[in-house]
Amino acid sequence: MGNLLKVLTCTDLEQGPNFFLDFENAQPTESEKEIYNQVNVVLKDAEGILEDLQSYRGAGHEIREAIQHPSDEKLQEKAWGAVVPLVGKLKKFYEFSQRLEAALRGLLGALTSTPYSPTQHLEREQALAKQFAEILHFTLRFDELKMTNPAIQNDFSYYRRTLSRMRINNVPAEGENEVNNELANRMSLFYAEATPMLKTLSDATTKFVSENKNLPIENTTDCLSTMASVCRVMLETPEYRSRFTNEETVSFCLRVMVGVIILYDHVHPVGAFAKTSKIDMKGCIKVLKDQPPNSVEGLLNALRYTTKHLNDETTSKQIKSMLQ
């Protein structure tokens, strides 16, 4: 049995795959180690990124003072001095998104390769499945924090405006070395997104599909729908849920389930909400609604506002009303 705590496999496709994915204890097998170690180097920095983002306060006060007193050089210098190190942080977050993208593509390569089905991959390679889940968990947490912090875009806009003014006036700008114009353009696009990390992941997944033309798109989308089903089944099955030793595992599972649904909805041609979707959306929403309301409102909002196909005509009225 090893770390695969499998109880039974359902052949009924309506039910979806039914096995316990050990998010708490999965360890890499020999064949997983190479990819696992590469991804681990990235993931070990994830918590620090979230802590930095959580403590990001912005330079709103200094910027307002500088704008209100444009001829006061001291206030201009003070605002610039406050913004430059913050832009250094924003650069670090953006560069981490690029590292995360590369890690995700490595995992997708491993979890979709032939000859195994997505279900077999997730069962056999539980440590990689766990890392995939950790990437999704990080992504939703990052985007939740970013969405509630308007200072990020205000600081970056002020930085760019001030920098272009300095260039026009030929004023040397310390901090310009930090973020050159091309990088600033890419960072602007990144932070303009409501959910920048999710956009990075969905673009990376779409790119992975288009670059691997010999691999059917279903290999990738089935990997996502299988992960969603596994999370849902573990959450609604008492004998599985009782195996969680850490109370955080339930919220981890919920967040991963939502993350993978959103990713599927962006990557699959008809999305997660259509009748032909391989994700049991009603079951997933029901699992969310069975939790204490204050703990899942953010996740329900993520389904409402960051999916692509919810408002399509092909989405059933029942699903739409469940999410109202």
What whole-number distance in Å separates Cα of residue 110 and Cα of residue 126? 12
Structure-block tokens of residue 153: 């875009």
- What are the helix and strand counts (H, E) for the chain? 15, 0
- Give the model confidence (pLDDT) of 5-37 as tens digits: 343 333 333 445 566 777 888 888 888 899 999
Query: Would you say 264 and 227 are in contact if contact means Cβ atoms under 8 Å apart?
Result: no
What whole-number distance in Å separates Cα of residue 249 and Cα of residue 256? 10
Type of residue at 238: P
CA dihedral 301, 302, 306, 309 (to 10 degrees): -80
Q: What is the pLDDT of residue 51?
A: 96
Nearest to 315 by CA among 274, 261, 268, 262: 274
What rounded mean pLDDT belongs to the chain? 86
Residue with the two structure tokens 């924003």: 90
Q: What is the pLDDT of residue 152?
A: 95
**Cα–Cα separations (whole angstroms), residue 50 to 53, 161, 258, 301:** 5, 27, 19, 20
- Give the model confidence (pLDDT) of 236-262 as tens digits: 888 888 888 888 888 899 999 999 999
Burial 50-81 (b: 16+ CB within 10 A, else e): beebeebebbeebbebbeeeeeeeebbebbbe
Q: What is the pLDDT of residue 212?
A: 83
Q: What is the pLDDT of residue 297?
A: 85
Q: Name every residue whose Cβ is closer than 8 Å to that of residue 283 and which is 6 or more positions away in sequence.
A: 232, 236
How many alpha carbons fall within 13 Å on the CB side of residue 64?
Answer: 5
Backbone angles phi, psi at 203, to 5 degrees: -65, -40
Q: What is the pLDDT of residue 17?
A: 59
- Give the model confidence (pLDDT) of 174-223 as tens digits: 655 568 788 989 999 999 998 999 999 989 998 888 888 888 788 888 88
Query: Would you say 250 and 235 are in contact if contact means Cβ atoms under 8 Å apart?
Result: yes
140 class by beta-carbon count within 10 Å (0-12 exposed, 13-18 middle, 19+ buried): buried
Neighbouring-strand partners of residue 20: 5
Structure-block tokens of residue 320: 């739409």
Structure-block tokens of residue 62: 């200094």
Q: What is the pLDDT of residue 240?
A: 83
Residue with the two structure tokens 């699959």: 268
